[in-house]
Structure 1
Amino acid sequence: MANTNSKGKWNRIVLKVGSALIAPNKKGCSSRYLLGIADFIVKCRMHGTQVVLVSSGSVAAGSSSFDTSKKRSIAVKKAMAAKGQMEMMASWDRLFDFEVAQLLLTQGDLQIHERYESIRETAFELLNNDILPIVNENDAVTSDEQKVGDNDNLSAMIAAAVDAECLIICSDVEGLYTDNPNTNKDAVLLKEVEVIDDRILAMASGPDSAVGTGGMRTKLEAAEKATSNGILTYIVNGLTTVSFNQLFAGNNPGTKFLPFKQPLDDRIHWMTHTSKAQGEVIVSNEIGEQVEDDALSFDHSDIVNVVGDFSSGETILVRTEKGKKLAKATSQHSSCVLNLMLNEDVDESAIEWQEDNPIISENTLAILEEK
């Protein structure tokens, strides 16, 4: 049943659990909140719903093994992640009587479409063999340039990759409120959100907790990614088993985000929400006025500037001189070649081939809507 739930009857879901639930006291993993989550996963699997678990918590779980009185360097945080990842996986493994598998990813794994497809294949093989995939960002080795940054957004990318029908993001509040419920007693819980616009994004004020790296803002970003791919999304309170009992019964315990009626094409969704731009091509403002729903055309004479270093085949952002974001697309040429064109260090005869080999690939063009 697509995008509906009748007592756990989704075909496939992605469940995201954050650090505040894994290691609430930053003293290693705790089963305090995980038992109810594990019970929900077991029930879903018993009723034919495949589950992919995205689990944060490696740094928080590993922090107890290190001297926390000193300022944490990047190297120390990576070491914490390496130590804590083992403890986190062991904690989940103890809670289940079926097999689990670990998938550690970086932005680079999602950035290149061939590797993205490889992740899909691996996840499907695990699910088809009744093995629970447990996904986390590979914080022990990931550089800042290769980080997704938070597991909320990672969970949305994974939900799209595995063709999930529902994404459930656990928080330490009931869902999205009109204001911060910790500081405003008049804040109202929104039970259903049809469109995530600027008004909705403005409601995400401050971090959810002192433990996790994400806040309500990243959860809304994740919901936006997922719903644009046709995936029903919930933000729920993961601190209480009531949330999971209601979800399993087909009720809404938090905030429900409705999926797009016309989801983005899978390749366009990947380009828009998963692939990270490695550089920018800035074009004249006139080009911005000629953009159509699925078309953007320009040649070397329209380029005003080239920002960053990128290779042919990498994703770039195309924007105007005024800063209007037009599209993300695969560049057919490196930044070096484009800079040569821009600086007119090559003559016209050397770029006549552009008509048959345009600057950007129309097959991976994602027109961006202005926020």
Structure 2
Amino acid sequence: MISRDEGLYYRQTLFDKARRIVVKVGSAVLTNENGLDQHVIEHLAHDLSFLQDTGREVILVSSGAVAAGRRKMATESRTPVSMREKQALAAIGQSCLMQTYEEAFARHGKTIAQILLTHSDLAKRDRYLNVRNTLLTLFRWHVLPIINENDTVSVKELRFGDNDMLGAYICNLIEADMFICLTDVIGLYTGDPSRDPQARPLYTVPEVNEEIEQMVGNVTSSLGTGGMRSKIKAAKLVASGGGSSFIGPGKQNDILRRLFSGELIGTFFLPDKERIKSRKRWIASVLKPHGRLLLDDGACRALLDKGKSLLPSGIVSVEGEFGVGEAVYCTDSRGTPIAVGLINYGSIETRKIMGRHSRHIEEILGYRDSEEVMHRDNIVVLHR
């Protein structure tokens, strides 16, 4: 851990330097018993407009469509609904949500844009780059993008998981300096404040490690610990791309102005010292691996210590079914994932050439697209 004064210095330095910012606001902040909380949305529009007026590029990742749909259809918020019904409520509520934002930002002379995404929009490299180009164009036009998951068409295998992860992916997509997650919690504590009188707020986190992840249990939130774990995971992902993150209370008035003016509030996460390159961030964070390659010790050393490509001779076994160009885990002899990368051969072909020298590939398959099963430029090391 770092001292309070050190943390304050790091926080303020990074807030001052942040020029590109992603702000994520969850349903716990945006809604109340009557549906969308107009008061919160007005203050949010006020704060985000302020950030834009200071020359910063800002994206809002917003939940709230299902809650707005419930309100319009007069559906009790505690009534269980099926996935199909949630998707229908999202379709109804999304227009209400955007109309509310449109009116709130218009009072500050701001133009907004709506972008709805599914995981497949980011998993395909060409679509991933198209989303990036659209966002950069909106920045150039001084338009504020508002992004949400396309709940109406998203199914389990296409979902980001939640908007915390969506916000983290967007941060890495546009190489944002900062991810601000506004929620219904004050921040992390060293212990449970309701039970431990010595528990103190944790204002600055230099690294998301096992100790920090265990502190999630000290958070009291309507979201539960699962929701907070998602935010910690998102902060860790943003840190790997060289960005900082903030988790704190979203319903407090002028929260963003107060943060950028140096007020010590919430929990701030510092960026990693080593920044993963853009393409490798996409491989490691966005893609969902389809299989596993069990490697021998020599291949593990080649990947971890020497930064080499993966050759077929180092593969002991192949698990799962995958196609050319898909993401696949590389594991050590214990089955622990040590890397993830884009595969040059499908699972059927990989099984045929595993354990063999590269010079035998053409003899076995009848062709040779590459000497490597994975090229080093497409491999991301996960654990050393």
TM-score (norm 1): 0.88
- Matched residue, 2:5: none
**Residue-by-residue CA offset, 1:272-331 (whole Å, 9 max, x unaligned):** 222221222223355334433562444434434333332111111111341211211111
Query: Which amino acid is the alignment partner of residue 61 of structure 2?
Result: V
- In 1: Cα distance, 2:127 partner to 2:304 partner: 30
Q: Provide the rounded CA distance (Å) in 1 between the counterparts of 2:54 and 2:261.
A: 12
Q: Which residue of 1 aligns with 2:36?
A: 29
Shift of 1:24: 2.9
2:63 paired residue among 23, 35, 56 = 56
Unaligned stretches of 5+ residues in structure 2: 1-9
* Counterparts of residues 215-364 of structure 1 (less than 5 Å): 215-285=227-297, 287-293=299-305, 295-341=307-353, 349-351=363-365, 356-364=370-378
Distance 1:67 1:43, change over 3 A: closer
C-alpha deviation, 1:112, in angstroms: 1.8
- C-alpha distance in 1 between matches for 2:236 and 2:212: 11
Please say if 1:129 is aligned against 2:136.
Answer: no
Letter in 1 for 2:143: I
Letter of the structure 2 residue corresponding to residue 78 of structure 1: Q
Aligned residues: 367
Alignment deviations for residues 135-188 of structure 1 (CA, whole Å, 9 cap, x no partner) = 111111011111111111111111121222111111211212223446656532
Q: Which amino acid aligns with 1:92?
A: Y
Indicate which of 9, 12, 17 corresponds to 2:20.
12
Structure 1 counterpart of 2:171, from 159, 182, 190? 159
The Cα of 1:213 is off from its aligned counterpart by 10
Following superposition, the deviation at residue 119 of structure 1 comes to 0.9
Give 3-state SS (helix, strand or coil) of 1:168's partner. Answer: strand
2-structure distance, mates of 1:369, 1:286: 16
Q: Partner residue of 1:139?
A: 151
In structure 2, relative to structure 1, the CA distance for the partners of 1:297 and 1:355 (3 Å cut) is farther
What 5-or-longer segments of structure 1 have no aligned partner? none
Partner residue in 2 for 1:198: 210
What's the TM-score, normalizing by structure 2? 0.86
Distance (Å, rounded) in 2 between the aligned partners of 1:367 and 1:354: 26
- AA aligned opposite 2:163: N
Higher helix share: 2
Give 1:40's aligned residue: 47
The match for 1:92 is: 101
Which residue among 89, 94, 98 is the counterpart of 1:80? 89
Which residue pairs with 1:369 in the alignment?
A: 383
Distance 1:212 1:188, change over 3 A: closer
Matched, 1:103 2:115: yes
Q: What is the alpha-carbon distance in structure 2 between the residues aligned to residue 136 and residue 206 of structure 1?
A: 29
- The 2-side partners of 1:104 and 1:135 are apart by 6
Aligned to 1:169: 181
Summarize deviations over 1:245-291 as a string: whole Å, max 9, x none. 31131344211111123311112222222222122222335533443
Contact 2:216/2:225, CA 8 A, preserved across alignment: no
Over the matched positions of the two proteins, sequence identity in percent amounts to 31
Q: Which amino acid aligns with 2:330?
A: V
Equivalent position SS for 1:305 = strand
Cα distance change on mapping 1:16 and 1:281 into 2, 3 Å: same
Find the aligned partners of 2:301 and 2:67 in 1 and give their Cα distance.
48
